[in-house]
Amino acid sequence: MKIIKVEPFILHIPVTSGQISDSTHTISHWGVVGCRIETETGLSGYGFTGTHAHLPSDRLITACIRDCYAPLLLGEDAGEITRLWHRLARSPALQWIGRAGITQLALAAVDVALWDLKAKAAEQPLWHVLGGATSTVLDAYNTDIGWLSIPDDALVAGSVAAVEKGGFRRIKLKVGHADPNTDLTRIEKVRRAVGDSVTIAVDGNGKWDLPTCMRFCARAEAYDLLWFEEPLWYDDVASHGALARATTIPVALGEQLYTLDAFNAFLDAGAIHYVQPDVTRLGGITEYIQVTDAAHARRLPVAPHAGDMSQVHVHLAFWHPASTILEYIPWIKDWFEEPAAVEAGAFRRPQRPGASSTPSEEAFRRFAQPA
């Protein structure tokens, strides 16, 4: 499968729930930034990373794909993914300026496109190519009901509707107000409304410092939370370790970590309980596999962060034995050839060949930006 073309793209897709905020971001569109890799067989693979849809920074990612990665890929065999990953990630020029940030987001898009190609060539869904599904049920947890920007009454109503109408058994609430008592009140209202059998996780998106987290956790322990996600600044291993030792609420993180080495630092420090790699931020599926195996070697659960909005992670989570739960945010699913789908609170297993990473023609028509 000789690679004959690498074509970057940028899609800015409006957020279905309108403009939303967590503690650190306010967004109205999701950026689907990636590339199509065409082979001489006629098959094309698609891969993408997820962004907050800022065109100037999105174009740094597509420039990296077009100017730095494409010349290393053209003429190569698309099936040799491990070799190509090292050719890109460890090329002298990119290793010097990269290993995190833009070059890694671009690498994720390329790597996912190569895996999409592999699965399409095998005429199997990605989870089958990786080794088959180890879970029969993959629970979805609903993040979309819990934004920080949703007022208390709507938060409670949305949570109840997700459980009673949507069939979700698991939800996640954003936290991170200036006064953590505001968040504790919101959690209490939702817990009272949905009852004890519904799983509630909370996500701080890295806003608070260690003393604020300690005060919050001491009181939040009463609400039986599944995890406290990104309680602290993303790279601060020592503070996460201190918090993990100080509270019974499990610590979750990983959506802002770019490498296997970054995960190893948290794992070695006992600073992480739920491991949340994101295939669109690590160097694609190739490095995601290394991270999930490192977590599994310590028998820790893996709950992927859905920067791909679950299009690719649904394959990875059905496949990997450490994953039984996956984030659900429905913003972009309807703009893919095989949309991520949740029924009665659980993901449907994808059936089509590939990684479910191919945007629809209509998505390109409506949302394409100059890449």
Contact residues toward Mg ion (CB under 5 A) are 203, 229
159/191 Cα distance (integer angstroms): 9
The CB-of-231 to Mg ion minimum distance in angstroms stands at 11
The alpha-helical segments, DSSP class H, found in the chain are: 55-63, 70-73, 81-89, 92-97, 102-121, 126-130, 152-164, 180-194, 210-220, 237-246, 260-268, 284-297, 313-319, 361-367
CA-based nearest residue to 110, from 216, 176, 31, 38: 38
**Contacting ligand 0YR within 293-352 (CB under 6 A):** 305, 327
Contact residue for ligand 0YR among 5, 17, 27, 57 (CB under 6 A): 27
Strand order in the sheet with 29-39: 44-51, 29-39, 3-14, 368-369
Q: Which is nearer to ligand 0YR, 16 or 124 (CB)?
A: 16
Residue 7 identity (one-letter amino acid): E
Q: Does 205 bind ligand 0YR (CB under 6 A)?
A: yes
Contact of residue 338 among Mg ion, ligand 0YR, none (CB under 5-8 Å per partner type) = none
Which of residues 44 and 143 has its CB atom nearest to ligand 0YR in the complex? 143
DSSP 333: G
Q: Which does 27 bind (CB under 5 to 8 A by kind): ligand 0YR, Mg ion, none?
A: ligand 0YR
Widest distance between CA atoms in the chain: 60
**Which residue, 176, 148, 172, is CA-closest to 19?**
148
Among the residue ranges 20-28, 55-63, 69-77, 332-340, the one whose residues contact ligand 0YR (CB under 6 A): 20-28
* Residue of this chain nearest to Mg ion (CB atom): 203
25 near ligand 0YR (CB under 6 A):
yes
d(CA 101, CA 368): 23
Residue with tokens 């945007």: 359
Which one of Mg ion, ligand 0YR, none is in contact with 58 (Cβ closer than 5 to 8 A by kind)? none
C-alpha R_g of the chain: 20
Looking at the Cβ atoms of 70 and 232, the one nearer to ligand 0YR is 232
Q: Which is nearer to ligand 0YR, 3 or 171 (CB)?
A: 171
Shortest Å, Cβ 299 to Mg ion: 23
CB of 327 to Mg ion, least distance (A): 8
Among 19-27, 62-70, 236-244, 264-272, which window interacts with ligand 0YR (CB under 6 A)? 19-27
The closest alpha carbon to 71, from 156, 3, 140, belongs to 3
DSSP-assigned states of every residue in 172-225: EEE---SSHHHHHHHHHHHHHHH-TTSEEEEE-TT-S-HHHHHHHHHHHGGG-E
Instruction: Convert residues 247-286 into a mask of x (bound to ligand 0YR by CB under 6 A) and - (unbound).
Output: --------x-------------------------------
Beta carbon of residue 1, minimum distance to Mg ion (angstroms, whole number): 36
The region, left, alpha or beta by phi > 0 then psi within -120 to 50, assigned to residue 202 is: beta
Q: Which does 62 bind (CB under 5 to 8 A by kind): Mg ion, ligand 0YR, none?
A: none
Please give the distance of CA 95 from its chain centroid, rounded to a whole number. Answer: 24
Among 13, 22, 73, 281, binds ligand 0YR (CB under 6 A): 22
Binding site for ligand 0YR (CB under 6 A): 22, 25, 27, 143, 203, 205, 255, 305, 327
